[in-house]
Structure 1
Amino acid sequence: PCTAQVEGGLFEGGRPWPGQPASLTPPPIPVLRGPRRFSPTHCKLCPMDWLSHRGKCYWFSKDSKNWTESRADCSAKSSRKLVIQDQEEMEFIQNVTRGKYHVWLGLSVTSAEKNWTWVDNSVFPVTGPTDVNSCGVIKGNRIHSETCSAEFKWICQKEAVLL
């Protein structure tokens, strides 16, 4: 289980002390009061207002921007735009968004060869016609091509920090 321990008595309220990360996964259980020295644990931490899932942290925008502006926003948050690794991650995103809006992915056509590439530089193997100014977006349960200048919500992701 995920526990944060220090020497002393129980920490009341189930919340970390001021200045400590506010999101623990799984949810925090009582913490010991005393000097702020942690014993070895297996807690994965995400910043406040980020969702934790399978060792990653996800931030969901409330407004809309074009692909380039949304990528810059993720960089400013020391993260990157969403890279879908598998069907389970896609289902997690769909459950959070409930399919109500389109979401930019970290996927774009980056070269004259018209290869689809994720922001982590891995190739997304897609066949068919593609424009150079194309970027990936989730619509419902599928990935679609959109003009990069269109404005949609976006998702940033980064690895959770092991405590």
Structure 2
Amino acid sequence: MEEMDIDDNSYKKLLTPGGCHRSKQLLKHAVVCLGFLCVVLLAGNIGQFFFYETHCTAVIGVLQTNNNITTQNYEIDSTEKNGVQSMYKYLSVNKNHLEVRMRNLTNEKEELQKDELEVRFRDVTSQRDQLQTQYGTLKNESDQLKTSYDEMKQSFREIVRNHKNFTADANQLQTKYTDLQREKEELRANFTAFVQNTDRLQRTYSSSVRHEKHQLQQSLDIMNKSKSQTENNYKQLLTNYSSLVTDTEKLQKNLNKMTDKVRGMLCPKKWTKFKTSCYFVSTERRNWTESRHACVDEGADLMIIDSHEEQVFVNRLLHKDQNAWIGLTDSVEDGVWMWLDGNTVTTTFWQAEQPNNYGGNQDCGELVQTQSGGEWNDDGCFSKQISICEK
């Protein structure tokens, strides 16, 4: 490959204007030398022919001189011949390289033509596929049009058949219309007779209606008198009802007083009385639900704190730093604290920053014993501790 690159470069040098000019100069020198040689030989022969006899010595000298010149020219011709042979060999090598390049270019041309043919073949194949697709689409459209034509043809036949039916129905309707017209005339005659009978009945009815109206008016007057008496009786009943309500309220107050007296007299053993309620502090530790069940079993429930006095009272029932369950929870709606009787908490005694629902599962309230009168805290309903019952 390196030799081919060198020869290619040499060939390129020859093909350049400078290389061609040098080749022409070499050829020109060779032609001049050959011509000069011919002229010298010709001059020698002519000199030999004219001066052979009179100038033998001179001719011999001239011949020797010519012989020397001829020898020199021959040496010059040999050198130029060697150069021409070298040039010929060089051109032969370049020719071989050019032939090799020609074959390579021919192969590349064939490959390019082959690639171009393959591209054209792919294009033709793609066009053929597109044409086939278009043909399939057109065929589908043709089938659809044919189907639509058949449907329209069938619809047209149905329209023609319906038209015939409508024509027959129209003839029947025309016949019925004629019959109705005849019946209309008969009804009009009957209506005229009916109007006449109605007028006669109206005159008869008017006299009887006036009599009945008079009787109804008398009955209405009697009913109005009865209404007035009924209203008076209703007012009297309302008065009696108000009196009964007042008496009932008085009785309820007396009953409440008696109930308070009974409660004050009947607090069980180990229960502590405060106003009208009894309180019991359990000694067994249970969770909030179990503590409530235990209170219910005693006929009570976890206590409800309604005032500051009651808060201070139950705080005294606990030992120092004790916690006890009370009837306070937000298990129905998170964040809305309610007593077990369903009332919303209004008076509160929460500790600072409480309730905080720590861990997301503190839904029951407890009373924490303090020196200041007790405070509330929210805790997990699963914790086990004592409780306070109230009944």
The TM-score normalised by the length of structure 1 is 0.65
Which position in structure 1 is the counterpart of 2:138?
none
* CA distances 1:49-94 after superposition (whole Å, capped 9, x unpaired): 2111111101110111000000111111111101111111111111
Amino acid at match of 1:80: D
How many residue pairs match? The answer is: 118
Q: Is 2:356–2:378's contact at 8 Å kept on the other side of the alignment?
A: no
Task: Mark the structure with the bigger radius of gyration.
Answer: 2
Amino acid at match of 1:54: K
Q: Is 2:279–2:389's contact at 8 Å kept on the other side of the alignment?
A: yes
Residue 132 (structure 1) shift: 5.6
* CA distances 1:88-125 after superposition (whole Å, capped 9, x unpaired): 11111111213341000101112244311111111125
Query: What is the distance in 2 between the residues matched to 1:49 and 1:93?
Result: 14
Query: What is the distance in 2 between the residues matched to 1:135 and 1:82?
Result: 13
Q: Is 2:362–2:378's contact at 8 Å kept on the other side of the alignment?
A: no
The reply to whether residue 102 of structure 1 matches residue 323 of structure 2 is yes
Which position in structure 1 is the counterpart of 2:283?
62
* Superposition map of 1:58-137 within 5 A: 58-124=279-345, 129-130=356-357, 131=360, 133-137=362-366
Which position in structure 2 is the counterpart of 1:143?
376
Q: Which moved more, 1:131-140 or 1:78-87?
A: 131-140
Query: What is the distance in 2 between the residues matched to 1:61 and 1:152?
Result: 9
Distance 1:113 1:135, change over 3 A: closer
Query: What is the distance in 1 between the residues matched to 2:387 and 2:295?
Result: 9
Q: Is 2:331–2:364's contact at 8 Å kept on the other side of the alignment?
A: no
Q: Which runs of 5+ in 2 are unaligned?
A: 1-259, 349-353
Query: What is the distance in 2 between the residues matched to 1:128 and 1:93?
Result: 20
* CA distances 1:3-51 after superposition (whole Å, capped 9, x unpaired): xxxxxxxxxxxxxxxxxxxxxxxxxxxxxxxxxxxxxx94522112211
Structure with higher RCO (Cα < 8 A, 6+ apart): 1
Query: What is the distance in 1 between the residues matched to 2:341 and 2:320?
Result: 25
The structure that is strand-richer by fraction is: 1
| Identity score, percent | 25
Q: Which runs of 5+ in 1 are unaligned?
A: 1-40, 159-163
Which position in structure 1 is the counterpart of 2:386?
153
Amino acid at match of 1:139: V
Please identify runs of 4+ aligned residues in structure 1 that moved more than 4 A.
125-129
1:94 is paired with a residue whose SS is: helix
Amino acid at match of 2:364: C
Query: What is the distance in 2 between the residues matched to 1:128 and 1:63?
Result: 25
Q: Which moved more, 1:109-118 or 1:46-55?
A: 109-118
Residue 143 (structure 1) shift: 0.3
Q: Is 1:58–1:155's contact at 8 Å kept on the other side of the alignment?
A: yes
The structure that is helix-richer by fraction is: 2
Q: Is 2:302–2:387's contact at 8 Å kept on the other side of the alignment?
A: yes
